[in-house]
Amino acid sequence: MNSLTTLLILLMAILVVFWEAVFNPIRSWLGAQVELLPALMVYTALRHSLTAVALLAVVGGLCFDSLSANPLGISVLPLFLVGLLLLLKRDLILHQQPFAQMVLGFAASAVAPVLTLLILLTGGTTPLLGWGSLWQLLVVAAGGALAAPVFFELFGWFDRTLVYGPAHQTTFRPDREIRRGRL
C-alpha cells in the first residue's frame, strides 16, 4: 500500500463529504442527496489494504456524521462492514470491468444506509421513514453506481501520474558475454 494513495483517498473522502453538504441542486431536484462514500469504499476495498479500508471508514464516517443529522460515529461501522466484505471477496470480483464497478457501487450505496438505519433502530431512535425513503435509497444507490467507475478512473490516473511504477527487468543480462568478430 502506498501512503500517498491512502492520503489521497482520505483527502477525497473529506472533499466528497464537504461536496455532499454544500452542493444542494441535486438534493433539491431529486429529493435526496447522493452519498458517495460507499462508492469510494468500493474502490478502496478492491485496490488497497485493510488499513486503508479502516482509515476511510473512520475518517469518512466521522466527517459524514459531523455534517449530517446522524449521531456521531453511526456511519463508521456500516462503511467498514461494506469495505471488509468487498476486501474479503475481492479475488472473486472482476473489478477492472466498469459494469462490475457500477453494480458494486450500487450495492454498496444501498447496503450502507440500510445498515445505518438498522443500527439507528436498534439504538432506540426513531428516524423518519416512509415511502419516500425508498425513493431516497434508490437515488443514493444510483448515485453510487455512477460514482464508482469515476473513482476507479480518477485514482487510476493518480496512480499513473504520481506513484512510481514497478521497475521492469530488461532482457539484457549484465553477466552475459557478447562475442564480436569472427568465430
CATH, residue 45: 1.10.1760
What lies within 8 Å, CB to CB, of 169 at 6+ separation is none
Cβ atoms within 10 Å of 120's Cβ, excluding its own: 16
Number of neighbouring beta carbons within 10 Å of residue 108: 26
> Which pLDDT score is estimated for 72?
92
Tell me the average confidence (pLDDT) per consecutive run of 10 residues in the chain, 183 residues long. Answer: 85 94 86 91 95 96 91 94 95 89 96 94 84 92 96 92 76 70 68
Establish if 172 belongs to a structural domain. Answer: no
Which pLDDT belongs to residue 128? 81
Query: For the chain, what is the domain count?
Result: 1
The answer to the question of residue 62 being in a domain is yes
Assigned domain for 179 exists: no
* 171 falls within a domain: no
Write down the pLDDT at residue 23.
85
Give pTM, 2 decimals.
0.87
Q: Tell me whether residue 181 is in a domain.
A: no
pLDDT, position 124: 82
Residue ranges making up the domain that contains 100: 3-161
Domain presence at residue 169: no
* pLDDT reported for residue 110: 96
Per-residue pLDDT at 123: 85
